[in-house]
Structure 1
Amino acid sequence: MNFQTTETIQRLWETFLQEQLASLPPDQRDAFASQFEQRYSELLSKPNGSGEEGFFDLLGLGPQGAVGFEKIGYPYVQPDFDDSIIPSQLHAAAELYFIYQHERMKIFEVVETLLRLFRLGKMRIQRGPGARGLYLLEKWRPLRYTRQDRMVAYRRAFNYGTAQAPAGAVVNRNFHRQMVGFMVAMGQYFRDLLIGEVIRGGQLIDQRPFGSVGTIQRIGLDLRYALDRSTYGNIFALAMETGHYLIQVLKLLDSPDIKKAFDANTKWDVVEIVSNRYLGGVAEPSQRAKMAESGRRILQFVADNDFKTATDPILFQSVVRPMGAHAEAWVAAYRMTPEGRGFPGVTHALNSVLGVPQAAA
């Protein structure tokens, strides 16, 4: 469309919208308003030819020569920044976060300790499935990525740990602040929703959420963008290989002969006993397990959600409702870890990630 046509649509659209919505029943206005907004965006985004014609018309080099502004194509620039991400990288980051929490639980160190004890004859197993599993691990060494490789990956993707990041690599320095901010924003959204359900007083109020959608969308987009720009390179391959290795070693720790050797009932008992006996103490496995589960699910949600600005709040509420429980569970577990015991609370954390000065807050 040319500039004059587009200007006419923009000038008359609001009048048209008010007239159409006024003729609809109140309970149908929200649904049609979203459709009208989508249609309006489609009309404005229709290009005039290939897009290059408008530029040449502006210079007077087009087939019509020099023309007035009213005949030049409207310069609508399609917003695509929020869509310019690589989904596989974000899914790999979600798996890497799950792996990181198990690294903090000392799973990989426990397995290395069992290999050493098996090799030195300090563990009374010989022919069972656990012994065979340890033999195969020692023979083939299926995890080619060393602990140092993993630590560098955690540093690049999450800025966790003390490993030196490679020179020139992008480090996601704001990940933890954004992760905590997204979790508390999600939790606050559903707390506000609960308050809204208590104080509802009318038919229309009963049909919309009480919390803020924009805060979740803004932090989610920032979190997604930062993860996308820092998880290139070997992050995908490392997460895939280490994830498969983690599955196998967890099965190995659940072998009956290994559990019997440590008088354990479950694989987590084995992790706790070996950690206390050989690794200087257990590393809060209960909290880390919940953070791994809920953190991965939230990051998968962030990777797959486009966070469109004009989303229907009722639809958004339905989509994110399962994430509210994960966010609350993550925050509750995080506050029980050493790094989370200084958690300043939901309001302070949310103001921090949104850049609100404490004095103004």
Structure 2
Amino acid sequence: MSFQTTETIQRLWETFLRDQLAAMPPAERQKFEQPFEQRFSELLKGAANGENSRDGFLDLVGLGDNGPPDFDKIAYPHITPDFDDAVVPSQLHAAAELYYIYQHERMKIFEVVDTLLRLFRLGKMRIQRGPGARGLYLLEKWQPLRYKRADRMVAYRRAFNYGTAQAPAGAVVNRNFHRQMVGFMVSLGQYFRDLLIGEVIRGGQVIEQRPFGSVATVQRIGLDLRYALDRSTYGNIFSLAMETGHHLKTVLQLLDAPDIKKAFDANTKWDVVEIVSNRYLGGVAEPSQRAKMAESGRRILQFVADNDFKTATDPILFQSVVRPMGAHAEAWVAAYRMTPEGRGFPGVTPALQSVLGIRQAA
């Protein structure tokens, strides 16, 4: 379809939309706003993708079948935006699992198991025939087949820029991950705090349900987080996360074996982790905070991986979809503030301003 025809459709559509919405009762307008916008996009796409749309450039330079036409007869160059969709979901899900594994690495889970293996081998732990002893024997044979601690450290550095391992030459390192992760958490927290304020001011959730919080801020940081994770988690990140995830699952089941808990006079596997860490590894490493950061951080990254953050989304629908994530974001921020690296956390609003590049007034 020609440029002039497409331009006419755009002009007439705005007039049609204004007249139709004006004729509707205010209570019903909201139901049709989003369908009208979707229909407008379909009309523009259909108008630009006619039979001869692929020859638009040839017509423009005069190489088409009919010679150089007038400008008003050139096909409209409608380009579908697809940058935000150009991600590999499996890589983002692997990054979510890797983040869960990393927090357990910080809890010294793998070091605790290595210590148990050493004690078992040297005969310094009073277990012999129970499920824990058998599990340690099998674990020593089954230690991650390909990816050792050094491989995990490189993966953490590439995907999250965590740790001090040297990144391989030429590899993409996600240097802004932590800043974007904190920014996404605080943007969700700010969104629901603004929503709560709006509900208090308006007297409830029913009156004017649209929240004061900015959907665009959550979407913008979420898209940046998706893009950065996608471009830094290629290669062996997926296979490493899968293999190490199975290893971590086996390790946690092993620590819960009754003979191992009895050997350390422990009630739970986390008591075993704490006792072994204090006795052999120089102290415990924030298990309570790390466990919550692992749980909520993985859930948030899974949400980021599966959400396309469309610009024209219905704010009420977005509010319903994202509401379960608000509790995870607040829990993550609360746990993060109790860790060594998070004790300098300035608060939700200053942190969000920093991520958005807003300079604070002196």
Q: Does 1:69 align with 2:42?
A: no
Query: Quick one: percent identity of the two aligned structures?
Result: 84
Query: Which residue of the other structure, out of 161, 164, 189, is the alignment partner of 2:166?
Result: 164
Change in 2 beyond 3 A, CA 1:4/1:203: farther
Alignment length (residue pairs): 360
* Residue 275 (structure 1) shift: 0.3
**Any idea what the Cα deviations from partners look like across 1:143-164, whole Å, max 9, x if unmatched?**
4311111010000000001111
CA distance in 2, matches of 1:142, 1:202: 54
Q: Give the corresponding residue for 2:243.
A: 241
Q: Does 1:283 align with 2:294?
A: no
Answer with 123-132 or 192-201: which moved more. Answer: 192-201
Change in 2 beyond 3 A, CA 1:264/1:204: closer
Q: Does 1:146 align with 2:148?
A: yes
* Residue 261 (structure 1) shift: 0.3
Answer with 3-12 or 307-316: which moved more. Answer: 3-12
- Where do 5+ consecutive residues of structure 1 fail to align? none
Q: Give the corresponding residue for 1:43.
A: 43
The answer to whether the 8 Å contact 2:199/2:205 transfers is no
Q: Give the corresponding residue for 1:337.
A: 339
- Where do 5+ consecutive residues of structure 2 fail to align? none
SS in 1 for 2:168: coil
CA distance in 1, matches of 2:194, 2:305: 25
Q: Give the corresponding residue for 1:315.
A: 317
Q: Give the corresponding residue for 2:176.
A: 174
Change in 2 beyond 3 A, CA 1:179/1:155: same
Query: Which residue of the other structure, out of 206, 214, 218, is the alignment partner of 2:216?
Result: 214
CA distance in 1, matches of 2:96, 2:131: 31
Aligned-residue CA RMSD in angstroms? 1.4
Q: Give the corresponding residue for 1:5.
A: 5
The answer to whether the 8 Å contact 1:91/1:303 transfers is yes
Query: Which residue of the other structure, out of 131, 134, 137, is the alignment partner of 1:132?
Result: 134
Q: Give the corresponding residue for 1:22.
A: 22
The answer to whether the 8 Å contact 2:96/2:299 transfers is yes
The answer to whether the 8 Å contact 1:170/1:229 transfers is yes
The answer to whether the 8 Å contact 1:94/1:295 transfers is yes
SS in 2 for 1:160: coil
| TM-score after normalising by structure 1 | 0.97
Answer with 80-89 or 201-210: which moved more. Answer: 201-210
Change in 2 beyond 3 A, CA 1:202/1:344: closer
CA distance in 2, matches of 1:263, 1:329: 31
* Residue 50 (structure 1) shift: 5.7
| TM-score after normalising by structure 2 | 0.97
Change in 2 beyond 3 A, CA 1:154/1:28: same
The answer to whether the 8 Å contact 2:107/2:287 transfers is yes
Answer with 202-211 or 1-10: which moved more. Answer: 202-211
**Any idea what the Cα deviations from partners look like across 1:15-39, whole Å, max 9, x if unmatched?**
1111010111212211201111111
